[in-house]
Each structure stands twice: as structure tokens, then as C-alpha cells.
Chains A and B, each alone.
Chain A
Amino acid sequence: MLIAPITMNAESYIGKRIERIEDNKFITTGATYVADVKGGSELFVEFLRSPIAHGRIMSLNVDKAKASPGVEAIYCSEDITLVDINPPIPLLNAKMVRPYLARDRVRFVGEPIVLVVANSARNALKAIEEIEIEFEDLEAVVSLDDSFKGEVLLFDESESNVMFRSDFTSEDGDRFFDGCDVFAAETIVNSRVAPCPLEGRSAMASFDGEKLTVHLSTQAPHSAKSTLLKVLGLESENVHVIAPDVGGGFGAKIGTYPEEILVAYVAIALVESDGESPNTPKGLKSVRWSESRNESMISLGHGRGQRQRIEIGGTKEGRITHYRLSVMQDGGAYPMMGAFLPFFTRRMVKGCYDIQKVDFMAVSVATNTTPVVAYRGAGRPEATYAIERAVELFARKAGLDPADVRRKNFISEFPYDTGFGSVYDSGAYLTALEKVLDYVDYKSLRAEQRKMRNMKDSNKSLGIGISSYVEVTHGFPASEFGSVKLNSDGTIFATSGTFPHGQGHGTTFAQIIADELGLSLEKIEVFFGDTDIIPRGVGTFGSRSVQSGGVALSRASKGLIDKTLDLMKSEFLDSSVFFESGWFFVDDRKFSWEDIARLAGSSNLECQVDYAADSPTFPFGAHVCIVEVDVETGVVVIKRVVALDDAGRIINRLLADGQVFGGLAQGISQALYEEVIYDENGNPLTSTFADYGIPSATEFTKFERLEMETLTTVNELGAKGIGESGTIGITPCVVNAVCDALSHLGIDHIDMPLTPFKVYSAIRERSS
């Protein structure tokens, strides 16, 4: 269906800065997260988790724990009748199968082994202390090289530790870069980070003998429902998933975790075994689990975790002609989305540049660490980091200004087929870069940098970092559901299959509907996150929501108008009937939505739409970061962050700012502060907020945001996604800035996070 682009005028809500409708509750009584939802008679789940990274379970005795006060039931692996978990994607190693609770073997610190249900979380934890368990240590595989070598295998069934691979397409090998005047290469690490949504995972399930109701902290309630249906073998009408308010996800709450499924499983099992339970009365019980921060740090999926070999070549004038990226991805102990991240990295391998010869290979391997999942950007930040570091190194090798090198190599004609599974829809990469460079007065900055370097006794070095990026949003266009219904009082009730967990779709989508229907914003309620009320849905991730759910609601609004027009035509035969700016005109009379609601009476005025976009969209932008590095202490101070992120049409400027700022903070944080660290035995050293470098307000400066809107033609809103762009562009930008500050010392690269110690060590190494 081809639909004309939306039209806008001064009254339009779309494009404005509008405060969030949903905030009133948040700022007065607080949101309602799973832990705040009242259950019936309540039981609490806690897990005994593996204290070692790799080992065999030699003996396990839960008898004492069973007798511990308040304990309702205890489950070990053999008590769980579910089929083991297969990798979520068919391309991943199918021999790496995960039991819901560790059976015989543990593969990462934090892996659940025993599930305890008790009448309070405290009693459950006390009972866990009574569990007797013995392990035989196995050598932990922590480094990527050890894993690849495969001397120690994580899964006996698999002959290697490889989870996924994508091979080079060209055979050229050593000769790939033949003919390049300039060649640069480096091995760089895209560090493993923890997503850290401030609300950890949380689930509450109850079963009434027929119907399972699960409250879940998730980004995708309908996908969670599909998973539950499949693994528990229930009928669709017997599973009800409710996602109340969710305290952040950042990609880590897309999939459904074993612990969450077990909570549902236990809710059913307890009812089915009812009568034997000593501590709670018969009848509906709700079983809940809310993870502690420590649990979250070691068993909620991690993000990133790639080692990359970047090789780049071109002419001495600065034209990049060759680029090769080889990736080794740390998948963690079990194949989840993380093992598949290189697939997304491959799609964006070229970045914004028109490079003739490009090659890519990747291998994902298993290690005895927490499984890796999607984290804000998921594979695309890794691609951007690689190419933007590579361009920087190339410029340095060629003795050219990095901005000039970018200018010479941008893709400028669209659509552009990269040959790596992406067709860029629209872009203006050069304009974006020139805008930020003008804004910061790049030339003067370079002059200032030179001046500072000539000041003999200064220990401060100025660094200017640039990055240009393009990314893919709504990467796998899937059909999304939206419905718009006229209530009897003339207000609107809309539902969407996307699921906001901080993004504010309740407001954004209301703006889209209000503009279409010519109504004021207060008349519109948009509802999310209940699979009994919303028949279908996909969820919110990959910056997909406006361009899928938003478009669906825009079309459903149009459909509602058409339906109403049909109704009017049948009411007022032989009259001319049309709709304009919120009014239905019939000859010389006009009707408001309120009038229509009265007229329609009980006839159902609702329009449901399933909309699938034809293709993804490709937001882009340019970032500049200015840092000052103290060459005596290695301390990096961020002076300025300027970000231009172009995601096509912006529906709500206030919320778009929020998405960009939050993304910038996470991206900067990876560059400078955060890293998940394991010791050589696979013990996590960053398992609380006290150990992990999660930043506070003092770590950041005020971000400056420039706007640009290059519309997409993929949908009639002209909108792309903006949820992840900040994170994608800024990480290489910060590292480029720090390396730029140290270029005169001969330092080409330092791996993230650029802590004072690492920077200082790099300086020391060079000067000695």
C-alpha cells in the first residue's frame, strides 16, 4: 500500500517539544514495576547460582534446605520437565544446548543451579545457604584465543567452541591490500559491558488451573508470550503476559531468560501439585522473583565483547580503497543474541564510506562467562567503532586531516547498496559533518591544539575527535500491530504492539494520532503491554517503534476516519461527506468526534492495522568530542560533546533529545569508564555497582545537540529510529579524541575503557 507522506502545519503536534503525558504518575506516586504489582498469596523464588566459572557438579543435596523455615519447594535440574533451551537463532551452533538449571556441569559464575521457593525472599535465601553442593573444577575458558584453540571444550557434544561464523568472501589473503599507497592496521577491543537497566529482571506468575498470568519486566511482552506458549506447551488463550512499567532494558530484556520461564513453570507446577504444600493455603498463588543487582550483573546478558582486526588501505591523497574487518565475538557461556552480533556488524561494515574493496569475517566463540546479548546498538556500534577508528588511523598514516579523509570518501548517492546486506535509504553524511565542524569551529580548534602543544610546560593536551556514522534501525522489518478506537465520549483508545520502557511512546504515538484525527492530545490514550488486550505485537528494540508501531497507528487513524466516513455516507445518503481537521462535514453541517461517538452508538468504530515496513532505515550523523588529557596523570576530561543525529522526521523533539543524551552517556561511558572484567579463572570482578564503572552525573558534561532531518521514503512519516544513534556515534568519537590528544607522543591506539591508568601506562610505555 503506497501512502502519501504526512502533511504538517503550524498546529501539528508532530515535530514539537511536548512534555510526556505519562509523567504525572511517575513524579507523584512512582511507576508500577513488577515488584510493585500486588500478587495474591505470595511465594518468592531465589536461585542458588554457580560460584565457579567451569566445573562439574559432583554432588548436590537439598534435603536440609527443604526443611528450612518457609520453604515451599525446591527444584534441581532433574525436577524440571522442560526441553532444554536451543540457541535462539538457527545459524548458531545447535549443539550448545542449555538446561534451565545447570545439570552436571556449570559454565559461568552466576548460572542458576537450584531454584528455591519460599514464603519470603529472605527465607528462600536462608534455605539456599543450607544446600550442600560439591564441584570438580574444570579449567575455565576466558580468553577468546583459548576458546578458539579449543583445547578445553565447553560442550562435550560440540567439537569446537565456535558458536557462529561468517567467512571472508575474497581469497586474496595477504594480497588483499596490494596496490595501496597507504596501509594501516590495528587490533582493537570493543570491551564487554553490562547493560545495567536500573530495574533488574523481575517476574511474577500465577496459574489458576487453566490460565497462566505473568507480569514481566521485558521489552517485548508478546514475544515473551510466544516463548512461554512454546516451552510450556500452553494454548494461546491460556497465557496472559502483562508488562507493567519497565525500568529500562537497553536490549538486555528483549529475550526471555531461563529464570523468568522457570518462575512461570513453578507457578504451574505448584498448583498442579497442590495439597502437598506445607506453608501456603490452597488456591491462587503468585510466584515472584526480582533479581538483586549482584545477580543482574552476573546473569543478565552482557553487551559488546568483540575483538577486531581492522585493516585499511588507500591512496596517499586520502581515498580509501580497501578495508577488511575480522571479528572475534565473545558469546559467553551459551549462545544467545550476542553470538549473532557479528551478523549486524557485517551489515554496517562500510560505515558511511564508498569503499571499493571490502571484506569481512567473524567467528563467535564460547567462554566461561555470562552470555552476551544485545545492548543498545547491538553489533552496529561495533561496526562503527571499527571503521571510525580505522579511518582515523588511515588519516594519521597518510598525514592527512581526519575530517578531510572523511570528506573524500563519503557515500553521496542514495539508495546505496553496500553489498553487505544493507541498502541505505537516504543520507547526507557530508552535510552532517560540515555542520558539526562549523559549529565547533574546527579550524580554530586545530590551531588551538597546535598552540597548546607548543607551550613547553603544559601537561594538558587537547584532543579533537570526530566520528561519522550510519546505522540500521528496524533491522528486520516485522509486522507491527496498532489499533485506534473511538470511545463513547469521543475520546480515543489506541493500542500498540510495541512496548515503551522509558522512551515515551504514550506521548509520541498520541501526537501522531492526534494530528491524523484533528483531536487535542488529552483526548488520546495509547495503551501497551498486555497480551489479552493487544492481540499481537513485536516489542521495542532496535529503534523500531515509531517506524513500525507509529506508522501502524497513523494508518489505523486514517482507517478510523474512512470507517466513519462510510458510516456517515450510509446515514446521510446523497449528501457530500468529507473529513477535515477533526470535523466531518455533511452538506452544510459539521460533526465532531464527540458527535460521531453519539451517532455511532454501539457500532464499533475501531480500526486495527498490521503494518510491515518494506525495509529498514538508516539514520546517520556526525559527532565531535573535545577532550583534555593530562599527560602526567592520564586523566581524560571531556570538554565538549557535540552530536548531530539525523533520524528523519522527529515526532517529539524533547523526547528525541532524551534518547540522544542517554545514548551519548552510555557510549561515552563505554569509552572511558565501564568494562566487565573477569580474572583468569572466570571470576567476575565487576559484579556490583560498587565495582562496575557505572557513571554518575559528575562524569559528564553538558551535551550539545544539533538537529537535522533527512526524511526517509520507507514510510509516510519520514521517520527513522533514534533510540541508539547517540551510543553508536560517540564511542569511537571519544577514543578518537583521546588518541588525537596523544598523537604527538606516537600513541595510535589505546583500548577502552580509557581509564587514567591505561592512558598513563600508554604514555609511560612510549616515553621510556
Chain B
Amino acid sequence: MTELSFILNGGEVKISVDDNELLCDVIRDKFNLKALNVGCDTSSCGACTVLLNGVGVKSCTVLAQQVESQEVETLEGLSKDGELHPVQKAFKEKHGLQCGFCTPGMIMQGVSLLNGSNELSESEIRIGIEGNICRCTGYQTIVDALLLAQCEINK
């Protein structure tokens, strides 16, 4: 067991974790934040993506202890004061989700991608979400949503 403290969705949290416990399990089971999903066992699907210090990571590949003193953000922490993030809004507007299983990871990866980057082209966006699998949408509406969000952010 390791005593761990980190910033989760803007607030400091403390918890003790097993040495081999994964970040995805800790977030889901110990903090009861169920947005992120576990969709595979080979780090292939990206449904578990969260932001670690603002950058998208697959939380199934991160040991919980690795986030000591770091900042972790999940989908639940994305909208501020009830105001949706442009990526969230765009997913709704462009129908960027169907069953929703990939969505929490996809949105976080999208946020990471658009964070401080220059204007991304459609194919750069496709490459940027390459690690996130969606079985429902054929990706088109997700790409459209991220292009739209990019416009909003850069406005």
C-alpha cells in the first residue's frame, strides 16, 4: 500500500493504493468517477483516456502511484461552473457519439489535442485520435466535432 496524494479534477485528494493498482481502477472504484471506461486489455481502445497534467493518457497504462502530486482530470471535471467545454458542446452538436462508451476518452483526448495547438487539419485530427477506438460513429462526426470545437476555441 502506498499513500498517494494528487489533484483530481481541481481538488487535492489523498488515498492509499495497492502498488499494482491502475489509475483507471482507482478513479472508477475509489473515487466513484465512472465516466471513463475500460474497453480493452491491451491499451488499444483509449476509452480510459484522462488528462495527466493536461495531456491525454490511457489511464489503464498508468499505475496509480505514478500520479503522486500530479494533476489528473476526467470528463466529470471538464465543464466549469456548469458551462460545457467547447469539445463537449461540439460532440453534441455534431452527433459525435452514439453508444457513448468511447466518448469520455474521446472527449478528453480531443481536449488534449486542441490544448494550445495550432490549427489542426482534418487529417491531423484523425491522427491525433488514432489511439481511441469508436465502433459506432465511423469517426466522421467525431472529427467534425473536433474541427468545430477548434473553431470555437480559436475564436
Contacts and interface: CB of A to CB of B under 8 A. Distances in A.
Contacts of B37: 30, 33, 35, 198-199, 247
B95 to A, nearest CB: 5
B35 A30 contact: yes
Nearest to B134: A198
A29 interface: yes
A501 B99 contact: yes
A420 interface: no
A57 interface: no
Given A23-B91, A28-B84, A702-B140, 16 more contacts: A20-B92, A28-B75, A28-B78, A31-B103, A35-B37, A36-B34, A199-B101, A246-B99, A248-B98, A293-B42, A662-B137, A665-B139, A689-B45, A690-B42, A696-B126, A702-B122
Interface string B92-110: 1101011111111001000
A559 B116 CA distance: 55
A148 interface: no
Contacts of B98: 248, 502-504, 658, 662
B144 to A, nearest CB: 9
Given A28-B76, A30-B35, A697 B100 contact: no
A664 B138 contact: yes
Given A198-B39, A250-B135, A30 B104 contact: yes
Interface in B18-54: 34-37, 39-42, 44-45, 47
A655 B95 contact: yes
A504 B138 CA distance: 16
B112 interface: no
* Interface size of B as a range: 35 or more
A123 to B, nearest CB: 13
A700 B140 contact: yes
A3 interface: no
A585 interface: no
B129 interface: yes
A688 B42 CA distance: 7
A292 B41 contact: yes
Nearest to A659: B98
Interface in A380-413: none
A525 interface: no
Given A27-B88, A199-B39, A696-B129, A690 B99 contact: no
A504 B92 CA distance: 12
Nearest to A195: B135
A696 B135 CA distance: 9
A248 B101 contact: yes
Give the secondary structure class of A's interface: loop
A760 interface: no
A768 interface: no
Given A196-B135, A697-B143, A702-B140, A27 B97 contact: yes
Interface string A287-307: 000001110000000000000
A247 B38 CA distance: 11
Interface string A489-519: 0000000000001111000000000000000
Nearest to B90: A27
A195 to B, nearest CB: 8
A671 to B, nearest CB: 14
Contacts of B70: none
A293 B39 contact: yes
A205 to B, nearest CB: 20
B1 interface: no
A702 B47 CA distance: 23
A69 to B, nearest CB: 14
Q: Which 9 A-B pairs have the closest CB atoms?
A: A30-B35, A665-B138, A247-B101, A502-B99, A502-B98, A689-B44, A697-B139, A661-B138, A198-B101
